[in-house]
Amino acid sequence: MADSVLYEVDEGLATVTLNRPDAMNALDAETKNELRDALRVAASDEEVRAVLLTARGRAFCVGQDLKEHVATLEAGGGMTTVAEHYTPIATAIATMPKPVVAGVNGVAAGAGAGFAFAADYRVAADTAAFNTAFAGVALSTDSGMAWTLPRLVGQGVAADLLLFPRSVGAQEALALGLVHRVVPAADLAAEAVAVARRLASGPTVAYAAIKEALAYGAEHSFAETLAREEELQARAGASADHREAVTSFVRKQPPHFVGR
């Protein structure tokens, strides 16, 4: 991967790090390409059992690199980056067949916030802040925010945050349900890795089924969701990890999951 995105796999955990700290990890074309490709690699690598998405510097990601965007508009270009980059990136995060943890080290705005909201678990530094940002630059939502945000905070609060963009600090984000945990900034890296490693050592097939069940249940009736749960439970029940878990329970010993 290029220097704008760092990719590392260690003991089942893929760490994807945005690495444009001087630009507050704004998303230029190179960064978007590399982020999309890194997430696709993580999704397809059977050795990867969890993903940590984080960033270097004082910002998580402030969204689109507006300097590059202005140049694109002046050259007669449009908004093709949504289809080429933002939609595939958000899709890769949300549909990853393994858990994704966002370690939000600083400001997350626009698409940067959208990527964090698409993750399964969010650990934020106490110095982090979130801003939907889109209306401020006369744009609608992208990166799945119209789907994720109402499910995190409710339709009314989502409308408020989208129509009247503002900086939501870490403690307010925790109270609203935008993040799961807030830790001191100095502890963010270690805490996010610890959460991601715990998931990486867990029952990967079951986690994938749980992600599917949650997404399906958000869009379907109770009866339809029950039917889907039957299918997903059969899949998880056929895994080696399920057999390991029940055998270990009977033997009164901790299970050792292999992710299959």
- Give the number of other CB atoms < 10 A from CB of residue 212: 17
β partners of residue 15 = 8, 52
Residue 182 CA, chain-centre distance (Å), reads 16
pLDDT, tens digit, 9 for 90 and up, residues 136-160: 999 999 999 999 999 999 999 999 9
pLDDT, tens digit, 9 for 90 and up, residues 58-71: 999 999 988 888 88
At 3, phi and psi to the nearest 5?
-65, -20
Sorted by where each starts, the structural domains of the chain and their CATH numbers stand as 5-200 (3.90.226.10), 204-250 (1.10.12)
pLDDT, tens digit, 9 for 90 and up, residues 208-243: 999 999 999 999 999 999 999 999 999 999 999 999
Characterise 199 by phi-psi region: left (phi > 0), alpha (psi -120 to 50), beta (else): alpha
CA dihedral 58, 60, 63, 67 (to 10 degrees): 30
- CA atoms of 228 and 225, how far apart (whole Å): 5
pLDDT, tens digit, 9 for 90 and up, residues 39-50: 999 999 999 999
Q: What is the mean pLDDT of residues 117-138?
A: 97
Q: Which pLDDT score, from 0 to 100, does residue 1 have?
A: 46
Q: For the ranges 74-88, 136-150, 242-256, which has the lowest average pLDDT?
A: 74-88
